[in-house]
Amino acid sequence: MSQTNVQPNSTVASDPGAATQAQLSRPQDCFTCRLIGTGALGAVGFYALNMSRAKAPGSPFGKRIMAGVGVGFLFASAFRWTMD
């Protein structure tokens, strides 16, 4: 077996900006993870919008809150899908 000498802090000493770039970068999600996450957020958004319809039980103020929550989850779903 060959061993490689790895120095984890070598970039910090030579370039302080490289450490912040390495900390900010996130790993890519697999397609299945993106699909499940987007679907879950979208399903919760549609459920909340369904609870805000006129025939659903509850107060008008509560329905407005549920509509806002539903739209928020749908936006989060779209953001989740397009996120790099």
Per domain, the residue ranges of the chain are 28-82
CA distances from 40 to 27, 73, 76, 78 (A): 21, 9, 10, 11
**Both tokens of residue 50?**
């369904």
Mean local confidence (pLDDT), 48-72? 91
Task: Round to whole Å and give the CA distance between 57 and 12.
Answer: 58
Q: What ranges in the chain are assigned the alpha helix state H?
A: 10-14, 16-24, 31-51, 60-82
What's the whole-number average pLDDT of the chain? Answer: 81
pLDDT, tens digit (0-9, with 9 covering 90-100), for 28-55: 888 899 999 999 999 999 999 999 988 8
